[in-house]
Amino acid sequence: MPAHAECARTAPGRRMRDRHDALLRFLLERAQVRGALVRLTASWHQVRDRADYPAVIADLLGKALTASALFTGNIKFEGSLSIQLKAAGALSLLFAECSHDGRLRGLARWKPELPADFHLTASGEPLLAITIENAATSQRYQGIVPVDDDDLAVLFARYFERSEQLPTRVLLACDGERCAGLMLQQLPASAPAVDADAWNRVGHLLATLTPAELLNLHPEQVLVRLFHEESVRVLAEQPLRFGCRCSRERVAGVLRTLGREEASASVQADGRVEVTCEFCNTRYYFDAVDIEQIFRDPAGTPSSSAAH
């Protein structure tokens, strides 16, 4: 069966064409390369529209959000993967996260003096990290990504090559309205007779893909256009959506870490503390009785309201 026919048969193509937020995992069987392709529209809009992001910051945030979804292809447990950049310069924070079940959230903080020609490498001692959290075991793994290039895709590819010792290529694109990404990783050799040219071959094919094609072509079209001779096999498709992990319990925990004195001092004239989630704009309210309960019973959670 021709490779493009196999791809069309294996993939739930009609459903993905109708949905703009999804992660597609695939395998190039001939080349022994695994891959993931992500497209974001509605979820990206919900992240983007929560602040008046300058174009350069929105571009970085969109690409980081896409990358967080791409990398969850390697998560085999319940949890989340986040990408976080902290710096002392005009861009102080960039955060993007995707959970194992496809919930995305992200935000960025920047200073008014953001230069028009902003570059990551000149953002003031930037620290870029990828963090994986296992919800079942509460274990947390963090890897540091050296910021030695202005292209996030290049930084991530270098990180995976160093940390996993697997050759990796990453493409990320964002045009303001939608975001997309594609990642390839060479699988460890499982037999002596390995196609020595396979990795270079798929790399040359990937290099022919333009950002516009990655953003606008249907995912199956991208795979067929690039890899129709590499025996493409779609492994799984997962819907993606905006979703915040905030909760009243988590906010109560934050107030607890502030300490009783500071939490009590935050009570406003109406007798309540108001805490707004930066990711989803949900507002949580705690009155003086709630604050007392937080510190009297650390295991309990006060029951005052939360509102959007």
Please tell me the least confidently modeled range out of 3-17, 141-155, 161-175.
3-17
Nearest to 78 by CA among 133, 21, 140, 23: 133
Q: Is the dihedral of CA 198, 203, 208, 214 positive or negative?
A: positive
Last residue of a domain, which of 221, 242, 263? 242
pLDDT score of 16: 40
CA distance 167 to 115: 34
Last residue of a domain, which of 242, 263, 280? 242
Q: Are residues 122 and 252 in the same domain?
A: no
Q: Are residues 151 and 196 in the same domain?
A: yes
Q: Are residues 114 and 170 in the same domain?
A: yes
Q: Are residues 141 and 273 in the same domain?
A: no
pLDDT in tens, 147-170: 999 999 999 999 998 888 889 999
What's the structural domain count of the chain? 2
Specify the CATH number for the domain of residue 290. Answer: 3.90.1280.10
Q: Are residues 65 and 162 in the same domain?
A: yes
pLDDT score of 12: 38
- Which comes out higher in pLDDT, residue 265 or 93? 93
**Structural domain of residue 12, as residue ranges?**
3-242
- Band (pLDDT 50/70/90 cuts) for residue 127 is very high
Please tell me the least confidently modeled range out of 59-68, 187-196, 213-222.
187-196
Specify the CATH number for the domain of residue 150. Answer: 3.55.30.10
Asked whether the predicted pLDDT for residue 296 surpasses 50, the reply is yes
- Band (pLDDT 50/70/90 cuts) for residue 63 is very high
Paired with 107 in beta bridges are 95
Q: Are residues 253 and 118 in the same domain?
A: no
Q: Are residues 192 and 120 in the same domain?
A: yes
pLDDT score of 34: 94
Asked whether the predicted pLDDT for residue 8 surpasses 80, the reply is no
Tokens for 137? 């075991």
pLDDT score of 303: 57
Cβ neighbors of 103 (< 8 A, separation 6 or more) are: 240, 241, 242, 243, 244, 245
> Burial level of 262, CB count in 10 A (0-12/13-18/19+)?
exposed
Q: Are residues 253 and 286 in the same domain?
A: yes
Q: First and final CA of the chain: distance in angstroms?
A: 53
Q: Are residues 100 and 36 in the same domain?
A: yes
Q: Are residues 114 and 189 in the same domain?
A: yes
Q: Are residues 160 and 278 in the same domain?
A: no
Asked whether the predicted pLDDT for residue 273 surpasses 80, the reply is yes
Q: Are residues 226 and 255 in the same domain?
A: no
Last residue of a domain, which of 195, 212, 242? 242
Q: What is the DSSP letter of 87?
A: -
